[in-house]
Structure 1
Amino acid sequence: MNSLTDRTPVVRRRTPLNRSQIAGFWGAWAGWTLDGMDSFIYALVLTPALTELLPRSGYAATPANVGLAGSILFALFLVGWGLSFIWGPLADRFGRTKVLAGTIFTFAIFTGLAATSHNVWELAIYRFIAGVGIGGEWALAGTYVAESWPEDRRKMGAGYLQTGYYAGFFLAAALNYTIGVHYGWRAMFLTGAVPVVVAILVLLRVKETEKWEKADASTVRAKPLREIFGPTYRRRTWVACILLTIAIIGLWAGAVYEPSAVIQLATKAGMAKNDAIRTASLATGLLSISTILGCLALPPLAERIGRKKTLAVYFLGMAVAIVGSFGWAFYLPNGLAPFIAWLCVLGFFGGNFALFSLWLPEQFETRVRATAFAFCTSFGRFVGAGVNFLLGAAVLHMHTLGVPVALTALAFIVGLFVIPFAPETKGEVLPQ
């Protein structure tokens, strides 16, 4: 008998997920989704909120004052994001799930309180503290999924997780299209209190990761913040900080200024105020869908060509898209449609954040993983706060939005020269 007839095809089966892994993922994903929603709510309600609160604070609500105050408040929010590195050592000491729930509680409660603001000072304080909570969620969610999912599934898990943030953008746009237009900015902030429910579910339904539980007690009690700057991790820590800083600059340049740019273009095209706001919400929805597609496409590409080459492709795409949208389409006589088309390209390559959810956990051992993730993401937010302030000043000085934002494309070109210094972890298992 011919032995070829006895051969059966080999079917590769993925390791099934247990109930805790599924519940943990959805808890992390929902928290990251509502995190993205919370972050983008501010960009969508910036103008109406400051128009109301500036006169109550002793300032005229002129376009220049609204722009300057908006930049200052957003810079404070990013500083709060930067301070979120405090969650990393806490998670390495006390576990991933408890601290993850704590980050969600923090940003939910103080986003809800923002709806009660009587002046810009109160709004600034609430957004600052909410930023501390929001900044920690990504590091804790990314660490949890990387450690809890099986090795053959955690790479796609990183891509799936990152879609949550941009699903949050889409959700914020949908809420602004419905609730924001009819009930105002305070109602939008109130919706940001919903994540409290998610935090409760995370605490009650999700088990701690086995990798963290198996870590030696004395190791867990080490000083992880000091260790990531020791000889073993120093180089990869700083390289990751630089690359994440570049990604964050691009995110906030492209995404945060997108609604204002669309509203300006829609108004220039003759749309009424409410129609321009709705158009901005629809454009944000398209941007979000495109970014989700970019997040899903990234893990298979990273497995095929490696982490470093994948990030280079996405960084180059971001540079081209930022110039094409804000540097070219924004200045066309009828630029609304071309600008929105470029936003789809910008959104796709904005999915580069999914790589960090996949790549950062691979570069650090369990005892320092959450600390390294939190610090690297927080460092970029401090720099992003400064860049955001400079962008606001540049917009005021140049009397235009497009050119200052388009210049942020240069950061991604710099990033292409930094990527070679990062470690390539393709084919390696998550270190214990």
Structure 2
Amino acid sequence: MVYVMLQNGAKYKRKVLASSMFGLGLEGMDIMFLSFALSTIIAEFGISSAAGGSISSITNLGMLLGGAIFGVLADKYGRVKIFSITILITAIATALMGFAQDITTIYILRFIAGIGAGGEFGIGMAMVAEAFPKEKRARTTSWVTVGGQMGAVVAAILAAVILPTFGWRGLFIFGLIPVVLAYLVRRHLPETDEWKKMKATSKKGDGKTSIKRLFESPRTTYVTIALTIMSTVQVAGYYGLMNWLPSIFQQKLGLTVSGSSLWMISTIIGMCLGMLLFGQIMDRLGAKLSYGIFLLASACAVFLYVVASSQITLLIGGAIVGFFANGMNAGYGALISSFYPTEIRSTANNVIFNLGRGIGGLSPIVIGFLLDKYSISIAMLFLSILYLISFVTIVTMKGIPLKANKNILEK
């Protein structure tokens, strides 16, 4: 009987992890679909580059709204149920993009897709944080972030296969397939024991779920703001590097499109390795030391792009920067989850990270300005300063234990 229970427990954990990886992978795939299709959409509808770029901004606004809405709903009504709804919304809105006849419809569908995608990060991270032991929380959530990168890789492969034959519309219509996969992964998956216990013991079953609880005391408010700053820096570094560097190096080193793809692959490999290792380090050394090391390394590593003089050094630099600057992304689900109790854990993850995504997503505008007015050295200095700000934030936060063995703000 004990053996069966252990097997069932292990099976449940694997399904929770797989579903969370799948959810973030769908989000990554959806974002990359737009990246590959954007130039064609701009040409087909005869819009300006600014109007085309607004599609991404509108998606981020949807994510911010969806993160807040579905974070609260998941804490109140259950992670699995709401998680499935978010993926359904994202997949259907993405598929309907293939039938859009004007840019207004594109904007509306991207906003709706963003609403669905905005709920996936926090809910998935909350599920994993509750299903696995706290001493293994970071290494487990690191696999979820790797799932997001795998979604981007899948999108690149699908774009290479589908775009030449079926065009950008066929690429988005493919978004319906993940709905079927989501159903198969989540079939018969119950809620986490921790969430069910919280609902059973809370008065009137409401769990006191509210965004206001992220600011219910001076200490909680400080933690929420500090984590939002760190999330903003994380997203700003990612979008700033990934959006601009391919075009920069095409001009600086004469890099071809295939060369840019190799750089992207090298960087993603570095990211995945960094994420997996960061999770292990954070579980063993704690959040403060782990983030401190990676943030300082990131502040220095971005300058490797300044001195890159060949495609080989560029590929190596991409892997190193990806390892440190984006490897840290693996820890945010565990870090945020360790500060907030069960009844607002999904809300906290979604609100904090999506707010960081909304603000940090503006970094390509700043970097573009710095590149136009100054140089790549100044642009990288800007990112380096951001990482140092995040470093100061994490080292001055009080109450971060050596290992995440309790919910710090839980009363």
For the aligned pair, the TM-score class normalised by the smaller chain equals 0.7 to 0.9
CA contact (8 A) 1:239 1:421 kept: no
Aligned to 1:33: 25
- Residues 381 and 154 (structure 1 numbering): CA distance in 2 closer, same or farther, change over 3 Å? closer
Task: Give yes or no for the alignment of 1:154 onto 2:154.
Answer: no
Which of 228, 232, 237 aligns to 1:245? It is 232
CA contact (8 A) 2:75 2:209 kept: no
Aligned to 2:42: 50
CA contact (8 A) 1:323 1:407 kept: no
Mean alpha-carbon deviation: is it higher for 197-206 or for 362-371? 197-206
What is the percent sequence identity of the aligned residues? 24
Report the Cα distance in structure 2 between the residues aligned to 1:391 and 1:156, rounded to whole angstroms.
Answer: 32
Which of 309, 312, 330 aligns to 1:354? It is 330
CA contact (8 A) 2:266 2:316 kept: no
- Residues 76 and 233 (structure 1 numbering): CA distance in 2 closer, same or farther, change over 3 Å? same
Report the Cα distance in structure 1 between the residues aligned to 2:152 and 2:112, rounded to whole angstroms.
Answer: 20
How far the C-alpha of 1:317 sits from its partner, in A, is 2.9
The within-5 A match list for 1:6-405 is 17-53=9-45, 55=46, 59=47, 65-66=48-49, 68-83=50-65, 84-215=67-198, 216-218=201-203, 220-231=206-217, 233-261=220-248, 268-269=254-255, 271=256, 276=257, 278-325=258-305, 327-329=306-308, 332=309, 335-349=310-324, 350-391=326-367, 397-398=372-373, 404=379
How far the C-alpha of 1:373 sits from its partner, in A, is 1.0
Q: Which runs of 5+ in 2 are unaligned?
A: 1-5
Mean alpha-carbon deviation: is it higher for 256-265 or for 355-364? 256-265
Report the Cα distance in structure 2 between the residues aligned to 1:322 and 1:184, rounded to whole angstroms.
Answer: 36
Q: Which amino acid aligns with 1:346?
A: V
Which one has a bigger Cα radius of gyration?
1
How far the C-alpha of 1:353 sits from its partner, in A, is 0.9
Which of 377, 400, 411 aligns to 2:386? It is 411
CA contact (8 A) 1:241 1:376 kept: yes
How far the C-alpha of 1:181 sits from its partner, in A, is 4.5
How far the C-alpha of 1:192 sits from its partner, in A, is 3.0
Report the Cα distance in structure 2 between the residues aligned to 1:70 and 1:312, rounded to whole angstroms.
Answer: 37
Local SS of the residue matching 2:99: coil
- Residues 26 and 203 (structure 1 numbering): CA distance in 2 closer, same or farther, change over 3 Å? closer
CA RMSD of aligned residues (A): 2.6
Local SS of the residue matching 1:369: helix
Q: Which amino acid aligns with 1:44?
A: F
Q: Which amino acid aligns with 2:202?
A: A
Aligned to 1:3: none
- Residues 405 and 199 (structure 1 numbering): CA distance in 2 closer, same or farther, change over 3 Å? farther
Report the Cα distance in structure 2 between the residues aligned to 1:159 and 1:22, rounded to whole angstroms.
Answer: 14
| 1:248-277 superposed Cα distances (whole Å, 9 cap, x missing partner) | 1111112233454466568x35x5xxxx2x
How far the C-alpha of 1:391 sits from its partner, in A, is 4.4
CA contact (8 A) 2:21 2:144 kept: yes
Report the Cα distance in structure 1 between the residues aligned to 2:381 and 2:168, rounded to whole angstroms.
Answer: 29
CA contact (8 A) 1:176 1:281 kept: no
Local SS of the residue matching 1:115: helix
Aligned to 1:5: none
Q: Which amino acid aligns with 1:382?
A: G
| 1:303-333 superposed Cα distances (whole Å, 9 cap, x missing partner) | 33321121122222333333322x443xx5x
Report the Cα distance in structure 1 between the residues aligned to 2:328 and 2:168, rounded to whole angstroms.
Answer: 30
| Number of aligned residues | 395
How far the C-alpha of 1:199 sits from its partner, in A, is 3.0
CA contact (8 A) 1:97 1:207 kept: yes
CA contact (8 A) 1:27 1:198 kept: no
Q: Which runs of 5+ in 1 are unaligned?
A: 1-14, 60-64
Aligned to 2:3: none
Q: Which amino acid aligns with 1:317?
A: A
Q: Which amino acid aligns with 1:40?
A: M
| 1:225-259 superposed Cα distances (whole Å, 9 cap, x missing partner) | 11110115222111111110110111111223345
| 1:346-405 superposed Cα distances (whole Å, 9 cap, x missing partner) | 21121111111221111111111111111111211221244344445666x549888646
Report the Cα distance in structure 1 between the residues aligned to 2:351 and 2:189, rounded to whole angstroms.
Answer: 25
Mean alpha-carbon deviation: is it higher for 397-406 or for 147-156? 397-406
Mean alpha-carbon deviation: is it higher for 417-426 or for 204-213? 417-426
- Residues 264 and 31 (structure 1 numbering): CA distance in 2 closer, same or farther, change over 3 Å? farther
